[in-house]
């Protein structure tokens, strides 16, 4: 009985299937991000590269597994650097880093395995330790990004963007974004989200919902816990949408 992926042809198809799987996972899950563009673009980049390799399979001399692994390492490394920046610095995306890390790990580990017999004992031990470090780092990225990844600040920013664009309801509308824009670890974001939700529901004439969010706001210290410039920006955005409906909003003064 043949061992799965023991020949180069089977391994090439397995790597292609892996790339398409990662690409479509990124594209599909990007819609659940406050800013879907980074993961969406990286997913389509992978689709493009995998499609080119797929077309090349019909050539007399298709891309070798070794070259394929080098490409995976390069693309994965690029995505890993960009993804970690998004995850740790801008906090706008939690998908690119772990998925790119998978590509990078498969590429690097595959290159090590393909040259394992040519390595000395010391190089093999160094390679083994590298694999352990890569596995630990990827495990952390999966837990940090995919399992417990929260982007309250990004959701709050996305809520303001949606508000400025007039998208108050629906998928990734201002209401949905602000409802995700609070966090127990970043308590300063909570009153900002609550005051925005109170104003939006008041603007829409949904007074029961507005009262609920007003109660939450009062628990966080009221409107005094929110910068007046932020409240002014919300009022101005809603007034630009409908000046008549904006008259339902409470009177705003700079002392708020």
Query: Are residues 64 and 8 in contact, defined by beta-carbon separation less than 8 angstroms?
Result: yes
**256 residues of the chain, pLDDT tens digit each:** 444 555 777 888 899 999 999 999 999 998 888 888 899 999 999 999 999 999 888 777 888 888 899 999 999 999 999 998 988 787 788 889 999 999 999 999 988 888 888 878 888 888 889 888 988 888 888 887 776 656 777 888 888 888 988 888 888 888 888 888 877 667 778 888 898 999 999 988 888 888 988 898 888 888 888 888 888 888 888 988 888 887 888 876 655 4
Query: What are the DSSP calls for 85-152, one per residue?
Result: HIIIII---SSHHHHHHHHHHHHHHHHHHHTGGGS-HHHHHHHHHHHHHHHHHHHHHIIIIIIS---H
Query: Distance of CA 200 to CAs 65, 89, 215, 238, Å?
Result: 55, 30, 15, 8
Instruction: Please list, in sequence order, all residues whose beta carbon lies within 8 angstroms of the beta carbon of residue 120, skipping any fewer than 6 positions away.
Output: none
Q: Would you kindly state where each structural domain of the chain is located, as residue ranges?
A: 8-147, 152-248
Say what the pTM is.
0.78
């Amino acid at each position: 009985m043949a061992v799965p992926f023991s020949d180069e042809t089977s391994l090439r198809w397995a790597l292609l299937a892996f790339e398409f799987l990662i690409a479509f996972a990124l594209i599909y899950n990007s819609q659940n991000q406050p800013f879907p563009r980074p993961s969406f673009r990286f997913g389509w980049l992978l689709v493009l590269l995998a499609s080119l390799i797929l077309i090349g399979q019909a050539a007399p001399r298709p891309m070798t597994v070794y070259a394929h692994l080098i490409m995976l390492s390069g693309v994965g490394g690029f995505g890993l650097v960009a993804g970690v920046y998004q995850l740790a610095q801008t906090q706008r995306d939690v998908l690119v880093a772990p998925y790119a890390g998978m590509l990078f790990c498969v590429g690097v580990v595959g290159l090590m395995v393909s040259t394992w017999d040519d390595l000395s004992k010391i190089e093999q031990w160094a390679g083994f330790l590298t694999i352990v470090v890569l596995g630990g780092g990827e495990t952390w990225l999966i837990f940090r990004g995919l399992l417990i990844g929260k982007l309250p600040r990004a959701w709050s920013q996305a809520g303001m963007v949606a508000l400025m664009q007039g998208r108050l309801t629906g998928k990734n509308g201002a209401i949905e974004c602000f409802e995700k824009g609070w966090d127990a670890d970043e308590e300063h974001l909570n009153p900002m989200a609550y005051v925005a939700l109170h104003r939006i529901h008041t603007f829409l004439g949904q007074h029961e919902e507005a009262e609920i969010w007003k109660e939450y706001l009062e628990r966080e210290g009221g409107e005094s816990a929110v910068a007046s410039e932020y409240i002014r920006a919300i009022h101005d955005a809603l007034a630009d949408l409908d000046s008549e409906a904006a008259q339902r909003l409470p009177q705003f003064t700079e002392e708020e």
